[in-house]
Amino acid sequence: MHTATLRDPYIIRTASVRHSLKLPSCLFSKSFHKNQNYLPIGYFHYSLKHIIFMQPPRYTSTCYFQKENSLKETSLPVQTLSSFPIEKLNGEVVLVRIDTNLVLNTSNSYDKSSLERAISTIKYLYSAKARVLIATRWAESEDPRTSCQKSLSDYLSSLLQLRVTPLQLGTKQEAEEGSIFLLENLANFSGELANCPRFSKKLAHCVTIFVDDAFSLSHRMLASTVGVAGFCHVSLAGFNFEKELSDLLQLVDTTTPPYFAIIGGDNFSKKAPALQLIASKCDGLFFIGKLAFQIMKGLNLSVPHHFLEKNVTSEVKKLIQIAQDREVPIFFPTDFVCAKNTDHELSEIFGSDEILAGWTPVDIGPKSLEKISSVISSCKKILWIGPPSLRLLKEDTSGASHLAAILHKSSNNGCEIFSAGNIPCNAMGQISRSSSQIKLLKNTTVLWEFLKGRTLPGIAALDKAYPYAIRWDSVFSDPSLPLVVDIGSGNGLFLFQMAKKVKDSNFLGLEMNKKLVSRCRNGVLLSKLKILHFISTNATSSFGPIVSSYPGKLVLATIQCPNPDFNRGIYRWKMVQRTLVEAIIDLLAIKGKVFLQSDVEAVTIEMREQFITYGKGKVVIDVEDGEEWIEENPFGVRTDWELHTIARGNPMYRTMLRKIG
C-alpha cells in the first residue's frame, strides 16, 4: 500500500450504469481481470534537471519523462470571493475578517483604494443576501469611532451606508437575509492571539463561509484568520486580500526583465534570507539607508564601525557572491546628506568616503539619486522597499520624495513599480494616486516573511485553488468524450486498466501526492494512452475549477478507500466535505453517477450521508432494492487496496448514487 493521503480510488457500478454511459459489458464482468502493471522507469523532478529511477531500465533504452505543457498559470493559489459563485452566498452566514487599521486610517491617500476594496467585500456579500458577521480587533481609546463596539458599528454603518448591528460573540441572531453584524472586540479574548481551537469554534458559530480580507495579518497565526477556517465549509480571500496577494506574487515574477531592486532600511541580520532571494531574482541592486554601509563593507570599502551591524559579515558576503555569480551589478550611494552632530538643523553633502568627523549621514545625496535615475532608465520592473534615510540623528524624508519622483517618471514610461513600506508608500502616494503601474505594499512584515520563503499562515488557511488553465485538447485526443474522474487516484493502476478497456471515455485522476502523479504521468507516456490524465491537486477545493473547464460531460465521479482519520473529527480536512459534494453534484450530468467505497463501513456511510445532505435533493441511492451495499465489483478492475482487503477475507462497502435533476 502506498503512502498517499488517499488509498487507490476505485469505480464500481450497477448494470444500469453501463447503459446510461454506454460502457462495454466486459467491464461489468464479475470475474477478476488481472492487473496491467505500468511501472515507469522513473519520475521526473519538476525542474527537469534530473530523473529519479525507481528500478533499473531493463526493458527499454528510452527514458521517458513528461513536461507539463498542458497547463498555463492563470490565477492565485487560493480560492477568492470574486471567483466564488454568487448564488451560493444567498442565505449563508459569512464571517469577514477585516483590518480595523485600514478602516480607520482614511487620511492616507494610498490607503483609500484598499479601504474601498474592503468595503466592497462587505457590500458584495450583503447584496448577495448573505448574513455578514464582521470580526476585527481595535484599541478602545478616546477616538469616538472606537470607544466601544457600538461606536465602531456606527462608524462602519456610515462607511458602508448600511446598518451594522453589534452582536455578542457565540450567539445566534435571527435576522433577515442581507443583515450585517459587528462581533465583539477580538482584543478582549486571549484565544485570539493563541489561535485557540475552542475560541475558533466559538467564533465560527453558525458560520458556513469565511472570508479573510485582512491581508496585513496573513503572517500571524490568529484564531480569526487561521483557526476559524477549520470550522467553516469554505474559506475565501476577500477583494482586498486578493489584490494585495496578487501584487505580492507579481513582485517576485521575473518574466519582464530588466528587474531592479532599490533596498533601504536596516537590520540586515533579520532580512538576510530575503535579501539573498532578491539578489537571485533581480537584474540589478541599489542599496540605500543603513543597509548600504553593510554592502560597502562587504565590498571591502572603508566604513566607520558605528554604522555597521555585528555578526553579519558572512551573510553579506553570501549575498554579494550570489549577485556576482549571476553577474548582477550592485550599487550604493556615492554621497549623503549629513547633519552636524552638535546642531541637527545644519546639513551638508559629503561623498560616501569623505564624511568629516562631527557629521552624521541622515539621507541619500543628490548624486546618488541621479545614479539611480540613470541605472533604472531601461527597467521594466522596480522594487523599492525601505526608506533611503538613515534615521541616525533625525528623520529626513526629502530623499524619499525625490526618489518617488524618479520612480513616478519611470512608471509613466511603462515601468511597473512596487513600493513597500510606510515611507515609500507615503512618498509614492503623494505623487501618484491612481496609476495602474504603481503597486503600494504597506505591510513590509508580510513581504519580508514571504521573501524569506516562510509560509504565511493566513494564506495557508484559505481553500486552495488550481491556478492553471488546462489545455484539454493537448491532454486528450477528443476532449468532447464523457469524463470519468477518480478523486484520490493513488498509484493510478485502476485508471490505467479502465483506460485500456474503455475507449469512448476520458479518464482523469486527481491526487494530492505529487510523486505518485509524476509516476502516473510517465506511465501515460509509456502506454501512449490519450484518454488518460493525472493532476496533482487537492480535489476538495479544485474539483470545480478543474472539471468545469472540461468541454464534455462529467458522467462518473468516484471516491474510493479514503484513509479514515478517527482522531481528527473537528478538522475540516476530511475526504468528503460539503465543498466537494456540491461541486460534484453541480457538474455531474443528469443520470450521472457517484461511486463510493471503503473497507471501513463507517467511512462509506459518512460519505453517503454527506452526498445526501448536501446533494440539494438531486441525488438518490442507486442500488438494488433491499440491498444496502453493492456486493460485487461490476468492473472487475480492482485497486491494490481492494485486493488486499479481499485477500484478508474482509468485505468492501460499496454504494452508488445517481443524479436525478
Task: State the pLDDT at residue 76.
Answer: 82
Q: What is the pLDDT of residue 624?
A: 75
Digit-coded pLDDT (tens) for 584-604: 999 999 999 999 999 999 899
Higher pLDDT, 70 or 174: 174
Asked which of 72-76, 243-247, 379-383, 624-628 is least confident by mean pLDDT, the reply is: 72-76
What DSSP letter does each residue of 69-101 carry, written as one string? -SEEE-S-SB-BGGGS-GGGGTT-EEEEE--HH
Q: Summarize the confidence of residues 230-237 as an average pLDDT.
A: 92
Place of cell 469611532: 145
Q: Which residue's C-alpha cell is 446598518? A: 163
pLDDT of 653 above 50: yes
Please give the average per-residue pLDDT across 641-658, as a whole number: 91
Which segment of 434-443, 535-544, 607-616 scores lowest on mean pLDDT?
Answer: 434-443
3-state secondary structure 507-558: EEEEECCHHHHHHHHHHHHHHCCCCEEEEECCHHHHHHHHHCCCCCCEEEEE
**Closest to 329 (Cα-Cα) out of 375, 285, 371:** 285
Residue 528, Cβ density class (10 Å: 0-12 exposed, 13-18 middle, ≥19 buried) = exposed
CA distances from 97 to 50, 109, 228, 532, 559 (A): 44, 23, 10, 42, 34
pLDDT tens-digit map of 604-622: 999 999 999 998 899 999 8
Q: Specify whether the CB–CB gap between 500 and 36 falls below 8 A.
A: yes
Instruction: Give the separation between CA 70 and CA 49, rounded to whole angstroms.
Output: 19
428 has a pLDDT exceeding 70:
yes
Q: Give the pLDDT confidence score for residue 19 in this predicted structure.
A: 35
What is the pLDDT at residue 133? Answer: 96
Q: How does pLDDT run across 347-368, given as a tens digit for each residue? A: 899 998 888 888 888 899 999 9
Is it the case that residue 509 has pLDDT exceeding 80?
yes
Looking at residue 32, its pLDDT comes to 32
- What's the CA gap between 70 and 466, in Å, rounded? 14
State the average pLDDT for the chain: 83
What letter does residue 230 receive in the DSSP assignment? G
First to last CA, the chain: 38
* Residue 651 pLDDT: 93
C-alpha cell at 485: 474522474
Structural domains in the chain plus CATH codes: 15-28+480-659 (3.40.50.150), 81-247 (3.40.50.1260), 254-433 (3.40.50.1260)
Q: How many CA atoms lie within 13 A of 386 on its CB side?
A: 24
- Does pLDDT of 432 surpass 90? no
Asked whether the predicted pLDDT for residue 574 surpasses 70, the reply is: no
Q: Give me the pLDDT at residue 609, please.
A: 93
Tens digits of per-residue pLDDT, 466-497? 878 899 999 999 999 999 999 999 999 899 99
Mean pLDDT check: name the lowest of 43-57, 424-438, 611-625.
Answer: 43-57
Tell me: the pLDDT tens digits for 165-214?
999 887 766 556 668 999 999 999 999 999 999 999 999 999 999 999 99
pLDDT in tens, 439-469: 888 888 999 999 998 999 999 999 888 878 8
Tell whether the model's pLDDT for residue 57 goes beyond 50. Answer: no
Q: CB–CB of 659/584 below 8 Å?
A: no
What pLDDT is recorded for position 563?
Answer: 74
- 354 touches 367 (CB < 8 A): no
Q: Nearest to residue 138, comparing CAs of 104, 170, 181?
A: 104
Q: Which residues pair with 632 in a beta bridge?
A: none
DSSP 280-339: HH-SEEEE-TTHHHHHHHHTT----GGGS-SS-HHHHHHHHHHHHHTT--EE--SEEEEE
Mean pLDDT of 55-64: 33
Q: What is the pLDDT of residue 25?
A: 39
- In angstroms, the Cα distances linking 33 to 314, 439, 518 are 63, 59, 26
Residues 6+ away with beta carbon under 8 Å from 147: 140, 141
The answer to whether residue 371 scores a pLDDT higher than 90 is: yes
pLDDT digits (tens, 9 = 90+) for 553-570: 999 999 998 876 555 544
Residue 216, pLDDT > 80, answer yes
Name which of 14-23, 107-116, 285-294 the model is least confident about. 14-23
